[in-house]
Amino acid sequence: MTMTRAKNLPAEERRNVTVEAVITLAATMNPGDITTAAIAKHMHLTQGALFRHFPNKEAIWHAVMQWVATHLMARIDKSAAKIKAPLEAMAAMFQAHVAFVAEHPGAPRMLFGELQGADMTPAKRLARAMMVQYAARLNDLILAAKARGDLPQDLDVEAATVLFIGTIQGLVMQALISGDMAQMVTMAPRVFHIYRLGIENAASDIRNQTSGEIRHVS
């Protein structure tokens, strides 16, 4: 972006560009190390110009998390919207989530950074709310799959939801470490296939088995 264009942007577009700048910076540096000076420099602005649209850094971070939540949820909702089979809808959500991260690698770094922070900031509350919303989508699809007979009636829905999200998080972390986002996208269908086989064939007494093993060990 040129300096002239940045200075002449309407207020709302300037805020959006600021959010995009933070996500871009987060792809290559620790989100905790991103300063308002770095953001302003990336945008070819002064810090004063930046703060005309945000009262403080916390407000910028909240706007970033709002962008991530809105765009990620819109992406996964769109991917599954016209798919009637719940398990196929989950597969589409899985792939859409991974594709979103591949396109915006700074987004998960911002999300993980907020969720790991000790302080309950507005951005962290928003991140948590997004995770709750995401889990609710999965919960509904898993219940629908059980109702259709596609999954065992006694499948642990909560565990299946946690595993879905955790599997994506594992893929994302490996991609961030290796720096190979393309490999993550290629691997996603194979990983989901294993996840699907797992929940389709989950042992009905797994929780009893686990608790029994724990009692035996103790």
Task: Kindly state the DSSP code that residue 9 receives in the 8-state scheme.
Answer: -
- How does pLDDT run across 30-73, given as a tens digit for each residue? 888 888 899 888 988 888 888 888 888 888 888 998 999 999 99
Is 131 found in the same domain as 39? no
Looking at the predicted structure, is the pLDDT value of residue 176 above 90? no
Return the H-helix or E-strand segment holding 121: none
- How does pLDDT run across 128-170, given as a tens digit for each residue? 898 999 999 999 999 999 999 999 999 999 999 999 999 999 9
Is 123 found in the same domain as 69? yes
Q: Which of 22-26, 38-42, 75-79, 202-206 has the lowest mean pLDDT?
A: 202-206
Radius of gyration of the chain (CA): 20
Is 160 found in the same domain as 99? yes
pLDDT band (50, 70, 90) for residue 211: very low
* Most confident of the following: 13-17, 86-90, 120-124: 86-90
Q: What is the pLDDT of residue 135?
A: 96
Looking at the predicted structure, is the pLDDT value of residue 214 above 50? no
**Domain boundary residue among 54, 77, 98?**
54
User: Considering the entire predicted model, what is its pTM?
Assistant: 0.83
Q: What is the pLDDT of residue 110?
A: 85
Of 98, 120, 60, 125, which is closest to residue 182 (Cα–Cα)?
Answer: 98
Is 150 found in the same domain as 184? yes
Mean pLDDT of 13-38: 88
Q: What is the pLDDT of residue 2?
A: 42
**CATH code of 89's domain:** 1.10.357.10
Query: Which domain, by its residues, includes 20?
Result: 1-54
Q: Which of 53-62, 75-84, 89-98, 138-147 has the lowest mean pLDDT?
A: 53-62
**CATH code of 24's domain:** 1.10.10
Is 146 found in the same domain as 38? no
Mean pLDDT of 95-103: 96
Is 81 found in the same domain as 47? no
- Contacting residues for 175 by C-beta, under 8 A, at least 6 apart: 101, 102, 105, 181, 183, 184
What value does the mean pLDDT of the chain take?
Answer: 86
Of 164, 166, 169, 170, which is closest to residue 202 (Cα–Cα)?
Answer: 164
The whole-angstrom separation of Cα 129 and Cα 112 is 14
Is 87 found in the same domain as 49? no
The whole-angstrom separation of Cα 164 and Cα 76 is 13
**Domain boundary residue among 10, 34, 54?**
54
Is 179 found in the same domain as 89? yes
| Number of domains present in the structure of the chain | 2
Is 85 found in the same domain as 176? yes
State both tokens at 58: 């916390």
Is 67 found in the same domain as 43? no
Is 197 found in the same domain as 95? yes
Backbone φ, ψ for residue 174 (5° rounding): -65, -40
Is 107 found in the same domain as 2? no
Q: What is the pLDDT of residue 50?
A: 80
